[in-house]
Amino acid sequence: MTTATTEPGSVLPPAQRTLPALLRRQAECFGARPFVSVGGVQWTHADAARAAAERAGALAGQGIAHGDRVAVMSGNRIEVLELLAGCGWAGAALVPINTASMGPQIHYLLANSGARLLVIEADFVERLAALDFGQTQLEAIWVLDGGANANASASVSATRVAAIAAAALPPGVACSPWPVAGTPVPAAPVAPSDTLAILYTSGTTGPAKGVRCPHGQYFWWGVNTAQVLGVGADDVLCSTLPLFHINALNTFAQAAVTGCQVVFEQRFSASGFWAGMQRHRATVVYLLGAMVPILLAQPAGASERGHRVRIGLGPGVPAHASRQFRERTGVQLLEGYGSTETNFVIATAPDSPRDGVMGWLRPGFAACVVDEHDTPLPDGQAGELLLRAQAPDVFASGYFNMPEETAAATRGGWFHTGDRVLREADGAFRFIDRIKDAIRRRGENISSWEVEQVLLGHPAVASVAVFPVRSELAEDEVMAAITVRGDAALDLAELSGFCRTRLPYFAVPRYFDVLDELPRTENGKVQKFKLRERGVSEGTWDAGATAGRRR
């Protein structure tokens, strides 16, 4: 077991490790200094505290109180951050929904979270048409006009809201435009252990699980990541990642705890990335593994050096790509490890002795590598990574309404990550692979179980196994092995289209193999490791390169 310690007294006292207390403190300390810029709208630190109080007032007018859940489905715009701040101020919990989610996923998230209010961009409202709202606790919907390219301050007209409601919503669910502002209210008595957000992470053998992220965990995400990157009050952070993910929400936390500025772009653009960094005068950037090879595939140009970026966070970037990126751009990328359930627990540093590893354990955490019986393993032997924090409210509080899953994941007082790693002699942790049956693609976690359920809904599919295969972009591609029902004719191009209307784009399988039977154990369990070893073969159908064929 490895343990590191920290000095919690060097940051805010425990009672103030909440979002309302943090916003109030930074408004007093930094006032008119720039804080957030997104979608053409800018906040100072004083603006953020004021917006939180006003949005909390609007939520109170809707009947939202301490402990309630509010869902949001939107691209990167100021209203998402205003809603996060307002929920934190009111003691409610925000439930972000991935904008790629389709009807079945949206319905599940609303029903599972018990959200009473949904805030959604008008562009996504049509996806609600087939939902059974009787199985949810939803009482009202606030509609944001336009999409990512719209003026974030615009609100949808009452006429359009009425048309949307008539077309997509059942009676009893009130639908109205986004209230521009409410009467400011005092912050609710919020504790660091209170839930600030419920972030859904894909299950491995079942539906997605809602991770209950308390105020204290969110605070420590900001503190730990800012320490790793050396963020100070004069930095300008810039992220192109979506605000429904912990990565971008963590970037907001870093700016909040340090008093610096953060800029969120609408989306990642390889061709426009460096121009955006120049325009924002960014000093710190955030890149996921596959984004770096994509940037390196762009033609080299002067813009790669004509910027102020000094450092970046690049978890999952292959070592060779990280080195090439630094040679071309002058930007050093730091590796690290953290999950929605934990925190930033393992990281490299600018002066780390070597690359190619996840890094070394951060202060305040303990880590252990164990076998299938939770028995600790010696250095150099691969096993599952277990983690725990030395202070309360640093990790998530469990899975929402899933006590059995929570108990299984935290048995013995350790969080079981499901990741296979090894600890080397100098204390560095090296990632090997995933123990859990999960897939990581386009920066998203994908539940193979959820993809399998969609495929099994096709009348020609008898059985299916979904699993990852590696791509050229340092991530997974989704592959499905299927058997055909009886004498049914299966058009794989049509099956791919069937998936596209029912799954987020990143979860739609790229590869299909049609087999006579799936490899199984004596008790009938599919042996996915054999399918992974088989991988893409000459007979595999590739949705990215094939117009389609029949089986």
Q: What is the pLDDT of residues 375-390, one digit of tens each?
A: 999 999 989 999 999 9
Give the rounded percent of residues in the chain with a pLDDT score beyond 70.
89
Tell me the pLDDT band of 294, cut-offs 50, 70 and 90: confident
pTM for the predicted model, two decimal places: 0.83
Q: Which fold has domain 438-542?
A: GMP Synthetase; Chain A, domain 3 (3.30.300)
Tell me the pLDDT band of 7, cut-offs 50, 70 and 90: very low
The DSSP string of 168-224 is H--TT-EEEEPPS-----PPP---TTSEEEEEEE--SSSS-EEEEEEHHHHHHHHHH
Give dist(CA 330, CA 320) in Å, integer: 15
**3-state DSSP assignment of residue 361:** strand
Has residue 3 got a pLDDT over 60? no
Has residue 274 got a pLDDT over 60? yes
pLDDT of residue 431: 85
pLDDT of residue 6: 40
Tell me the pLDDT band of 541, cut-offs 50, 70 and 90: very high
| Token pair recorded at residue 539 | 């007979």
Give dist(CA 72, CA 93) in Å, integer: 11
pLDDT of residue 280: 97
pLDDT of residue 168: 61
Report which listed range, 166-180, 199-213, 474-488, 521-535, is most confident: 474-488
Give the rounded percent of residues in the chain with a pLDDT score beyond 90.
67
**HSE (CB half, 13 Å, CA atoms) of 496?**
21
pLDDT tens-place string over residues 86-145: 999 999 999 999 998 988 889 999 999 999 999 999 989 888 887 888 889 999 999 998
- Chosen CATH of 19-190 out of 3.40.50.980, 3.20.20.70, 3.40.50.720, 3.40.50.2000: 3.40.50.980
- Mention every residue, 6+ apart, whose C-beta is less than 8 A from residue 464: 452, 455, 456, 480, 481, 482, 483, 518
Judged by average pLDDT, the poorest of 37-46, 109-118, 169-178 is 169-178
Kindly report the backbone phi and psi dihedral angles of residue 417, in degrees, each rounded to the nearest multiple of 5, phi listed first. Answer: -75, -25
For residues 231-253, give the mean pLDDT: 96
Has residue 265 got a pLDDT over 50? yes
Domains 19-190 and 438-542 share a fold: no
pLDDT tens-place string over residues 300-334: 989 999 999 999 999 888 788 899 999 999 999 99
Alpha helices in 447-527 (DSSP H): 448-456, 492-500
CATH placement of domain 210-434:
3.40.50.12780
pLDDT of residue 317: 83
Tell me the pLDDT band of 9, cut-offs 50, 70 and 90: very low
pLDDT of residue 129: 80
For residues 10-36, give the mean pLDDT: 92
311-313 β-sheet, strand order: 41-44, 34-38, 261-264, 236-239, 284-286, 311-313, 332-334
Has residue 468 got a pLDDT over 80? yes
pLDDT tens-place string over residues 415-457: 999 888 899 999 999 987 777 666 878 778 787 878 888 898 8
Tell me the pLDDT band of 161, cut-offs 50, 70 and 90: low
Give dist(CA 261, CA 250) in Å, integer: 13
pLDDT of residue 163: 65
pLDDT of residue 232: 95
pLDDT of residue 143: 93
Give dist(CA 518, CA 192) in Å, integer: 48
Has residue 224 got a pLDDT over 80? yes
Question: Where exactly are the structural domains of the chain?
Answer: 19-190, 210-434, 438-542
283-311 burial: b if 16+ Cβ within 10 Å, else e: bbbbbbbbbbbbbeeeeeeebbeebebbb
Give dist(CA 348, CA 329) in Å, integer: 19
Q: What is the mean pLDDT of the chain?
A: 89
- Mention every residue, 6+ apart, whose C-beta is less than 8 A from residue 418: 204, 384, 434, 435, 436, 438
Tell me the pLDDT band of 228, cut-offs 50, 70 and 90: very high
pLDDT of residue 134: 80
